[in-house]
C-alpha cells in the first residue's frame, strides 16, 4: 500500500509543479492562457490514466496471465477472485472486522481511484457535462477495467469495485457542478 501512496505523492508533486509552470506561462503570455491550460489538463488526464493503469494492472500486482479460453482457470478465478453480489465484499469487510488498512484500500481506494474522472471527463469532453452520458462513460471505463482484470487474472473482478468506482466519480462530478 505504501508504494501506491508514494506513486500518488509523486503524481501530486508533478501536478502541482506543472500547475505552477502553467500559471507562470499564462502570466507571461496572457493571450494563450486558455490554450496552455487545456494542454495542461490533457497532460494531467493522461498522467492520471497512466497512474490508474499502474494501480490496476501494474508493477505491484502478480504477473498477468491471459486466462480467457482456459475453462479451468476461468472457473478457479470466478470461484475464488470474483464477486457479482452487490455489497457482499463491503459487508464482509465490516462483518469480519477487517483491518483499517483493508477497509482503506478496498473502500476509500476504490472511491478515490476513479474520482478524478468526475472532474476530467466534464472538463475535457463537452458531452460529459450531463449526468447520463457521464455515468454511462464512467461505468464503461470501470467495466473495462474489471473485465481486463478478469481476462488477465489480476486482482479481483468485483461488483462492489464498480459501485465504489462510479460513486467516487459521481461525487467529484457533483462537486464540480456545484463549485
Domain around 126: 65-179
Residues 148 and 170 in one domain: yes
Residues 2 and 79 in one domain: no
Residues 82 and 165 in one domain: yes
Cα 113 to its chain centre, rounded Å, is 3
What pLDDT digit, counting tens, does each position of 11-50 carry? 889 889 888 888 888 888 888 888 888 999 999 999 899 8
Torsion sign over Cα 143, 149, 150, 151: positive
Residues 47 and 72 in one domain: no
Residues 77 and 42 in one domain: no
How many domains in the chain? 2
* Contact indicator for 46, 120 with CB cutoff of 8 Å: no
Residues 2 and 46 in one domain: yes
pLDDT of residue 1: 58
Torsion sign over Cα 62, 63, 67, 71: negative
Residues 148 and 80 in one domain: yes
What pLDDT digit, counting tens, does each position of 114-158 carry? 999 999 999 999 999 999 999 999 999 999 999 988 998 888 899
Average pLDDT over every residue of 43-71 = 82
pLDDT of residue 51: 84
Residues 37 and 75 in one domain: no
Q: Up-side HSE of residue 75: CA atoms within 13 Å toward CB?
A: 3
Asked whether residue 58 carries a pLDDT value surpassing 80, the answer given is no
Using a 10 angstrom Cβ sphere, with 0-12 exposed, 13-18 middle and 19 or more buried, the burial of residue 165 is buried
Residues 160 and 102 in one domain: yes
End-to-end CA distance of the chain: 32
Average pLDDT over every residue of 164-175 = 97
Q: Apex CA 55: angle with CA 142 and CA 134, to 5°?
A: 25
* Contact indicator for 166, 139 with CB cutoff of 8 Å: yes
Residues 129 and 79 in one domain: yes
CA distance 149 to 60: 14
Amino acid at each position: 500500500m505504501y508504494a501506491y501512496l508514494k506513486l500518488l505523492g509523486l503524481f501530486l508533486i508533478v501536478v502541482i509543479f506543472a500547475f505552477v509552470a502553467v500559471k507562470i506561462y499564462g502570466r507571461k503570455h496572457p493571450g494563450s492562457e486558455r490554450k496552455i491550460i487545456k494542454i495542461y489538463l490533457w497532460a494531467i488526464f493522461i498522467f492520471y490514466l497512466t497512474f490508474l493503469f499502474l494501480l490496476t494492472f501494474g508493477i505491484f500486482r502478480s504477473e498477468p496471465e491471459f486466462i480467457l479460453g482456459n475453462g479451468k482457470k476461468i472457473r478457479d478465478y470466478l470461484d475464488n477472485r470474483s464477486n457479482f453480489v452487490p455489497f457482499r465484499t463491503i459487508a464482509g469487510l465490516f462483518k469480519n472486522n477487517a483491518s483499517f488498512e483493508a477497509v482503506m484500500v478496498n473502500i476509500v481506494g476504490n472511491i478515490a481511484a476513479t474520482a478524478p474522472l468526475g472532474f476530467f471527463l466534464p472538463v475535457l469532453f463537452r458531452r460529459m457535462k450531463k449526468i447520463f452520458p457521464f455515468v454511462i462513460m464512467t461505468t464503461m471505463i470501470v467495466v473495462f477495467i474489471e473485465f481486463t482484470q478478469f481476462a488477465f487474472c489480476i486482482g479481483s473482478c468485483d461488483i462492489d469495485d464498480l459501485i465504489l468506482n462510479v460513486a467516487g466519480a459521481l461525487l467529484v462530478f457533483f462537486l464540480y457542478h456545484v463549485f
